[in-house]
Amino acid sequence: MPTRSWLGVVIGLGASLSLVPPAHAEEPAAVVKRGAEEHAAGSTESADAALESGLEEATAAYCEALNGRHFETLAEQWTAGAELIEGGGRVAGRDAIMASIRGWVEANPESRLEIRLERVKVLSPTVARVGGVMGFTRKPGAKTVETRFESLRVHENGAWRLAESIVEPSQVEALEGLSWMVGTWKASDPRNGTSVEATYQRVAGGHLILGGVRYRSTDDAARDGGDVDVVELIHPDKTTGTVRSWVFDSTGARAEGVFETDGTVFNRRFVGTTADGATATVSRWVQLIVPTGEGKCTMQSIERSLDGEPLPDRPPLHFTRVK
């Protein structure tokens, strides 16, 4: 499930889980085809203007419901088989979309949404495409982050509902969901007392997170490999918004990974090559990253293997931000 931007999370795209829409739900392509057939008979300008007014009201109601945390009302804005797409990720089904929205809002309780419609294309009295700009702030006074969207709305049971929404990825914005990592963190390995210090900073105009991790051993830890220095690069893909990570360490090992998230918990799924002189060649693991409160997080390496042979999970490291 590639990481999606926090804009996508708020409108529902918390993770690109390929959930299957309910069997009774009509696919977006079928909705468009049906709408075009219905509209073929023609419509008056005044009728289209009335429809556009209804679409604008539905958009305003969406913002009001999200900003007011009226989740039941917000759920009614989506069809049962709605799809939400950002870059290479997709969430299908109203329940999955609402679960992502709730999780993200709980983690960002002061966030607010504004939507500016720029395009409305009425396809039929019951089907329309809309597009524009979404702007989000995490908390009062914070910088507004904007991204573009295109949505398909259908008139169903007396209301304009979202059947499909496509969000355009933004490189800088894609890293906003990881901005909490910026700073210096410290932890101690419970196995042997090795101290771990990790520092992350936004560089290159905000397009990149640069990380440095230092493992400093005790005498007992020296037998496990001693001191290790790590350099990390975290960068979003321009086309898909997927956040990728590269790791290089002082043993000669390197790895490449992809961030995954449900909006509140983050995974980095790595594949890499081993240290100089190691007999094994290919290493794989998942780094589980869980923010646990203001200035605290937990990181743990799980699903580890060397050349396909499974290894036990590492114990979690409990980090505290020191600056």
Q: What is the pLDDT of residues 88-102, one digit of tens each?
A: 567 889 999 898 888
Contact 263, 108 (CB under 8 A): no
Q: Cα dihedral sign for 276, 280, 286, 290?
A: negative
Domains 6-168 and 176-321 share a fold: no
In this prediction the pTM is 0.58
41 backbone dihedrals φ, ψ, rounded to 5°: -70, -15
Q: Which tops the pLDDT comparison, 288 or 6?
A: 288
Task: Give the per-residue pLDDT at 319.
Answer: 95
Distance of CA 116 to the CA centre of its chain: 22
Domain residue spans of the chain:
6-168, 176-321
Question: What's the CATH code, domain 176-321?
Answer: 2.40.128.20
pLDDT band at 19 (very low <50, low <70, confident <90, very high): very low
Class of the domain covering 6-168: alpha beta
Q: Are strands 78-86 and 159-167 parallel, antiparallel or unpaired?
A: parallel
Region of residue 19 (phi > 0: left; psi between -120 and 50: alpha; otherwise: beta): beta
Question: What average pLDDT score do residues 165-176 get?
Answer: 75
Q: How far apart (Å, rounded) are the C-alpha atoms in residues 187 and 295?
A: 12
pLDDT for the residue 33: 53
